[in-house]
Structure 1
Amino acid sequence: MKKRKLVTTLVLSLGVFFSISSTASATCVTLRTTDTSRVTAPIGLQNSCHYKAYNDKVSACAVYAIAQKANPGKGWVKAATSYMKPGTGDTGSAYQNNKINWRLELNPEGWNKAGCFANGSIW
C-alpha cells in the first residue's frame, strides 16, 4: 500500500511538472545576417509575438527588423517594424485574436549592401 501511494504521488508530480514546464517555455530563434540577403526565422502558432533585434556598431548598413504574421492566401504580412542604424537595437510586439504563425525578418536597407551584422530573437 505504501509503495503504491509513493508511485501514484511520483506519477502525479511528474505530470504536473511537465504540464507546467511545457506552458511556460517560449520559442526563441536567433538570426545573424552578414551579407546582402534578408534572413527569416519562424515560430509556431501563437496569439502574439515579441522580438528584439540589434544592429552591430560595425555594421555597414541600417537593418529593418520586421515581425510578420501568416495571412492565409496572402503569404506573410508585416505586423511590426523596427529601423535600426548601426549600433542601435529595438524591441517590439504584435498581437492577434487567434493563433497564427509568426516569423522575424532581418532585412538590410538598400541594394547590394555587404557587411551587415545584425541579430534578433522572436518568441
Structure 2
Amino acid sequence: MSSAELAALTIADLQALLRRREIAPREVLEALRARIEEVEPKIDAYLSIDFDSARNEAEHVNVDLPLGGVPIAIKDIINVAGQPCTCASKILRNYRAPYDATIIRKLRAAGAIPFGKTNMDEFAMG
C-alpha cells in the first residue's frame, strides 16, 4: 500500500489493518514518513518530527488497544516528554518538555504513537 493510500485511510480502517496484522505499526510510520517528505515542503505543517522515538514505540505497541499503532501528530502547545514544545515561538526554541501532558499519557495508554509537533499560530493566539 502506498503512502498516499495509507494517508487516505480513516483511523477505523487503519486500526482494522493493524489488528488483522495486515500491516505493522512500523510500516505505517515508514509510509507516513514518505508522505511527509513528499508534501511537507509545500505545506510546512510540522515544527518537529521524531520518527526514532515513534519507531521505538511502534515496536512495543499493543495493536489491540483502541488506538493501537495509530500515529498521531500533536499541536506544538502540548508537552510530549523529551520533545520540543515551542508553541511556535522563537522565545521557546530551546525548550524541551520535561513530562507528558495528561492527554499524551491517555493517548499512549490507548496505543497511539505521537510522532511530531504541528505548526500553529504563535502561542495559539491566532
TM-score category, normalised to shorter length: under 0.3
TM-score (normalised: structure 2): 0.23
Question: Which protein has the bigger helix share?
Answer: 2
Give the number of the structure with larger relative contact order, counting CA–CA contacts within 8 Å between residues 6 or more apart.
Answer: 1
TM-score (normalised: structure 1): 0.23
Question: Which protein has the bigger strand share?
Answer: 1
